[in-house]
A and B are shown apart, each in its own frame.
Chain A
Amino acid sequence: MAYKPQYGPGSTIVAANRRKQMDPSHKLEKLRDISDKDIVLMMGHRAPGSAYKTAHPPLAEQQEPNCPIRKLVTPTDGTKAGDRIRYIQFTDSMYNAPCQPYQRSYVESYRFRGMDPGTLSGRQIIECRERDLEKYAKELVNTELFDPALTGIRGCTVHGHSLRLDENGMMFDMLARTQYDKKSNTVKIVKDQVGVPLDTEVKVGKPMDDKWLKAHTTMFHSVAGTAFRDDAEYIEYVQRIHSLRTKYGFMPKE
């Protein structure tokens, strides 16, 4: 029988969302339409429309060593062109943000090629070739993995993940990269990910409402959302892994 990945344990909506996001056969729901130019603007690595800077000549022009792995692996577009490596980093609020650092790395590893995800406690970074990055970033921002109020695109000064939201429901950001407009109930990005003001602001639309967030979050939260202790299957799984890891040196046998 062919191997069928299970993606993760759990019987709650949070666990189901985690599996759904990780499963590459599940098409992520598209919620907004941020243009390529705006994605380039908010990352701040190059001016929109300018040429990609390169780290090496295109693969077709340079001599490749006789390597069996290189024959096996098809290079991505960015690699073919010799693009330099750039990054995008996300901060997710623990108040029911649609995605979270560990989940992001799993999602990206299942869905994208040729990138290096890095998980930290309150933020998650992806590094890859610049033109691949723009393609991936567009998917990460335009789909259900992003919420204008609870997800931040932050290259530095990322603090906010574990803080209380402000009165407008926005995650704390010391650099105020996003602005909430109460009248239109929309969020716009006014600075790039390291805090340099943008020439033109990027509108990222309305923050999702509490009901949607509760139904789509991948984060357990005993007060704001679904409590981890409500998911008996998840607890059993985590306890089993913990137990096996602890006993590993003693050659565990089940």
Chain B
Amino acid sequence: MTETTFPQCRIVTHRLLNPDTVERLLNKFFNIHGIRRMVLNGPRLPTVIPSGPSKGIPNPHGMRRTITVGNQELTLQVHVGTILLELENRDAIPALKNACDDVFTEFPYRLSEGRYMKTEPTLVDYAKYGPNADKEMLGLADPSSRTGPIILQGTK
């Protein structure tokens, strides 16, 4: 589970982000030292329509694209609107702000510091995922999902 001492940030933009913008931003973040974990949040873009009269047919979507961050390929599963970050220490925050200022030129954003990731599993987490759930993923993504987190090897 998350160490309570690690600072966390949340970036909320005024618009939902196009994949190109996410790619540009994450590549800037890639070069910043001290980012431990990051979550891209937003409404989901499934590959297949999950419900309704056309359930089961493919769902091509312009905002679901594979982007390249550093040397890793990453397929977006959401239309990114919020980014949560866990940092080694607060020193990385000015660099994050600079990166955001460079990328978000057309619309405003807000970068706030606080606690945005779960620190303890809840009863519902226990009921849903059992006692052996991956604690790093709890509250961020479905720990029982077959796709794990993407690991970006930084420059540290």
Interface residues of A (CB under 8 A from B): 155-157, 159, 163-168, 172, 174-176, 179, 194-196
B43 near A195 with CB under 8 A, answer no
B49 near A166 with CB under 8 A, answer no
Please, how many residues of chain B have a CB less than 8 angstroms from a CB on the other chain?
26
B26 to chain A, nearest CB (A): 16
A167 near B18 with CB under 8 A, answer yes
Chain A residues with Cβ below 8 Å from B67 are none
Contacting A at CB under 8 A, from B29-50, are 43-46, 49
12 contacts between A and B (CB under 8 A): A157-B51, A163-B81, A164-B13, A164-B15, A166-B15, A166-B63, A167-B21, A167-B106, A174-B45, A176-B62, A179-B62, A195-B54
Q: Which residue of A lies closest to B52 (CB)?
A: A156
Q: Which residue of A lies closest to B44 (CB)?
A: A174
Q: Which 4 A-B pairs have the closest CB atoms?
A: A156-B52, A176-B61, A195-B54, A194-B53
Contacting A at CB under 8 A, from B43-84, are 43-46, 49, 51-54, 57, 59-63, 79, 81
A174 near B52 with CB under 8 A, answer no
B14 to chain A, nearest CB (A): 7
Main secondary structure of the interface of B (DSSP, over half): loop
A195 near B52 with CB under 8 A, answer yes
Chain A residues with Cβ below 8 Å from B15 are 164-167
Main secondary structure of the interface of A (DSSP, over half): loop
Q: A156-B54, A166-B15, A172-B79 are in contact. List 12 more A-B contacts (CB 8 A).
A: A166-B63, A167-B15, A167-B21, A172-B16, A172-B43, A174-B46, A174-B61, A175-B59, A194-B52, A194-B53, A194-B54, A196-B54
Chain A residues with Cβ below 8 Å from B13 are 164
Chain A residues with Cβ below 8 Å from B81 are 163-164
Interface residues of B (CB under 8 A from A): 13-18, 21, 43-46, 49, 51-54, 57, 59-63, 79, 81, 106-107
A168: which of B18, B46, B54, B59 is its contact (CB, 8 Å)? B18
Chain A residues with Cβ below 8 Å from B57 are 195-196
A167 near B52 with CB under 8 A, answer no
A175 near B49 with CB under 8 A, answer yes
- The CA-CA distance from A166 to B22 in the complex, in Å, is 12
Q: Which residue of B lies closest to A223 (CB)?
A: B14
- The CA-CA distance from A163 to B43 in the complex, in Å, is 9
B43 near A159 with CB under 8 A, answer yes
Chain B residues with Cβ below 8 Å from A168 are 18
- The CA-CA distance from A165 to B46 in the complex, in Å, is 19
- Of the listed residues B15, B18, B44, B46, the one surrounded by the most CB atoms of chain A closer than 10 A to its CB is B15
B111 to chain A, nearest CB (A): 16
Chain B residues with Cβ below 8 Å from A174 are 43-46, 59, 61
- The CA-CA distance from A179 to B60 in the complex, in Å, is 11
B53: which of A155, A165, A179 is its contact (CB, 8 Å)? A155
A176 near B51 with CB under 8 A, answer no
B49: which of A163, A165, A195 is its contact (CB, 8 Å)? A195
- Of the listed residues B53, B60, B107, the one surrounded by the most CB atoms of chain A closer than 10 A to its CB is B53
B52: which of A157, A164, A176, A179 is its contact (CB, 8 Å)? A157
